[in-house]
Amino acid sequence: MSPALARLLQSENEVRKGIFLKLMAAFVVVILAAAVTFDVTLGAAWQSSLRNEIERNLAQKTQLLAHRVETDRSSYSLSDIAAQEGKAAGARVTIIDPTGRVLADSEADPSAMDNHADRPEFAAALSGRIGREERRSATIGVPFLYIAVPISGGAVRLAYPLSDVEAVSAHVRYTLEKASAIAFVFALIVAAISASWSARRLNRIVDVAARIAGGDLQARISETSHDEIGRVASAIDATARHVEQSFAAVRSSQRQLETLLNSMQDAVIAVGAGGLVQWANQPMNRLVPQGARLHQPVVETVRDPDFLAAVKDATTSREVKTVRATSIVPGRAYDVTAAPLPGGGAVVVLRDLTETERVEKTRRDFIANVSHELRTPLTSIQGYAETLLDSAPDGATPTREFLEIIRKNAARMSRLTEDLLTLARVESGETRFEPESVPPAELLHDAEESFREIARTLGVELQIQDASRDGDTPIQNLRSVLADREAIHQVFANLIDNAMKYGASGRRIVLGARPIPHAVEFYVQDFGAGIASEHLPRLFERFYRVDKARSRESGGTGLGLAIAKHIMLAHGGTIRAESELAHGSTFLFTLPTA
């Protein structure tokens, strides 16, 4: 016999035994309750009915005895009458006179008997009533029913033993016990059959449930009965079908997700709350030489400290963390994004930045080299154009016009190359900023002084708002910020220059600053035509212009805001724009406090 079959048989025997004991306990309780109920109710009713019948018959016989004593006492002796009537009635006959002295008795010598005047039944009869009394005989220990009837010159009494009533009660109780025993045997048989039948059905349900729990979702009970066990079996079958469908849907979704993740170029790895690797796609397995070690600590797969720190931070803080890792594969850089999983842990996406950074570096180098190489010829063109303009005769209008066009375009190209070089140096980190603790008021006053005359020439009022925008903190009381003076001055220059070019119609430009948590936010506000909302997200892209024709006319290169953005990124700050058509524009940037 196999171990599985042995366990199944043992389980079925245990279930059968449990059901049998429970059924037998229930049957025993019911049988005992029924027997006690019948004994108490039917036995008492039977005894009461039997006693009433005996008392009625004995009263009639006593009255007949009294009648015969009245009629035959002159012909027969009282002793003979007592003997005859006692034998005929099956009872003891006693005759007394008015004083209670026994005149005759069917079973004893009257002369040896005590006075009976104090007996309750004789006391009632001597007073003219029928006396009834029930008591146990002191001599034989048997209960008797006594009935006495008055006669002239005394009273007569019949005494009937009630032992028959007790015998009948004992017989009834015996019959109940016998019936209970028969019912117990029948219950034993029924309990055994029911326990065996129910045990087989329940064990089948348990077996199918165990198979379902073990992964066999196609297992079914197929119970046809409609009783309680049948309904439980039907419910389990319905649940198994639903679980099978849900599991099939989950597996299908899982296969689709695995296919999708394996088709990605980026490496993906899932780490549980305990730091163990749960899953990894094929690019991740190809990324590390030994492959992802499932169900092992993630440090055995990836040893990069930045990667491990991102996983730990995402798991503990429940926030997305992004870092740059350079030691996962020698000579390659990865952008690591760790996002928390709902059940704990994190899923990490590794994007190879090596080629992107190489192309970006090549682009920056190309722009810087081209811009650098263009500076000399452009300077020469611009210089020769200015020389020719100075030497050209005043009357040669077409010649001077052509030379002016050459000079202006050469100047514009020169500004463009300078801005390209500046942007390339800032992006690449070649330009080294030297942040120092600077009061915000000094940065604002430097910017205002540099553009005061230009603003006055254009008819624009340039002013510094004395208090911060919330109206509470004067700019003199703001905490110092970490900033490179020249770089921040360049940011202010780009923003104020744009405000004077595109917001001069408002005739006013406001500079200011206000405190925010761990930083100070500066702003340049104009009151011109404003910028449409669809342009705001792209304002800080290189060469992006809201009004291209006007930008060219004003000599703009489209790189000023891009340069400002990268300067702010290098300072650990941010820059943004707020604007509404016909209500002006506000450019805001933040610097960390010292």
User: Alpha-carbon dihedral of residues 311, 316, 318, 322, nearest 10 degrees?
Assistant: -30
> What pLDDT score was predicted for residue 593?
92
CATH number for domain 265-352, candidates 3.30.450.20, 3.60.110.10, 1.10.150.120, 3.40.50.300: 3.30.450.20
* CA dist., res. 408 & res. 516, Å (int): 44
**Rg over CA atoms, the chain:** 60
Q: Where are the domains of the chain?
A: 3-166, 265-352, 356-428, 436-592
CATH number for domain 3-166, candidates 3.30.450.20, 3.40.1390.30, 3.30.70.360, 3.40.630.30: 3.30.450.20
Report the percentage of the chain scoring pLDDT > 70: 86
> What pLDDT score was predicted for residue 489?
92
pLDDT confidence band for 510 (50 / 70 / 90):
very high
Q: Are 129 and 147 in contact (CB under 8 A)?
A: no
The tens digit of pLDDT for each residue in 518-545 reads 899 999 999 888 888 888 888 888 777 7
* CA dist., res. 22 & res. 34, Å (int): 18
pLDDT mean across residues, the chain: 80
The tens digit of pLDDT for each residue in 251-296 reads 887 787 777 767 777 888 888 888 888 888 888 888 887 778 888 8
* CA dist., res. 340 & res. 464, Å (int): 46
Q: Are 568 and 576 in contact (CB under 8 A)?
A: no
> What pLDDT score was predicted for residue 1?
42
Report the percentage of the chain scoring pLDDT > 90: 10
> What pLDDT score was predicted for residue 345?
87
Higher-pLDDT residue of 105 and 174 is 105
> What pLDDT score was predicted for residue 61?
85
- Asked if residue 428 has pLDDT above 50, the reply is yes
* CA dist., res. 181 & res. 384, Å (int): 135
* CA dist., res. 556 & res. 419, Å (int): 10
* Superfamily name and number for 436-592: Histidine kinase-like ATPase, C-terminal domain (3.30.565.10)
pLDDT confidence band for 39 (50 / 70 / 90):
low
| 442 phi/psi in degrees, rounded to 5 | -65, -40
Lowest mean pLDDT of 70-84, 224-238, 549-563, name the range.
Answer: 549-563
List Cβ neighbours of 291 (8 Å cut-off, separation of 6 or more): 285, 301
Q: How far is CA 163 from CA 100, 108, 140, 144, 288, in A?
A: 27, 20, 11, 8, 106
- Asked if residue 430 has pLDDT above 80, the reply is no
pLDDT confidence band for 2 (50 / 70 / 90):
very low
Beta partners for residue 436, in sequence order: 483
* CA dist., res. 184 & res. 29, Å (int): 10
- Asked if residue 468 has pLDDT above 60, the reply is no
pLDDT confidence band for 5 (50 / 70 / 90):
very low
Architecture per CATH, 356-428: Orthogonal Bundle (1.10)
> What pLDDT score was predicted for residue 42?
66
> What pLDDT score was predicted for residue 446?
92
C-alpha angle with apex 563: 558 to 567, nearest 5 degrees?
165
Lowest mean pLDDT of 18-27, 145-154, 485-494, name the range.
Answer: 18-27
- Asked if residue 337 has pLDDT above 80, the reply is yes
Biggest alpha carbon–alpha carbon distance for the chain = 197
pLDDT confidence band for 173 (50 / 70 / 90):
confident
pLDDT confidence band for 7 (50 / 70 / 90):
low
Average pLDDT estimate for 161-169: 72
- Asked if residue 547 has pLDDT above 70, the reply is no
> What pLDDT score was predicted for residue 86?
83
> What pLDDT score was predicted for residue 300?
83
pLDDT confidence band for 403 (50 / 70 / 90):
confident
**pTM (global) more than 0.85:** no
Higher-pLDDT residue of 547 and 50 is 50
- 3-166 shares its CATH topology with 265-352: yes
Label each residue of 150-175 as H, E or C.
EECCEEEEEEEECHHHHHHHHHHHHH
Which position has the token pair 């100070």?
A: 520
Q: Are 150 and 129 in contact (CB under 8 A)?
A: yes
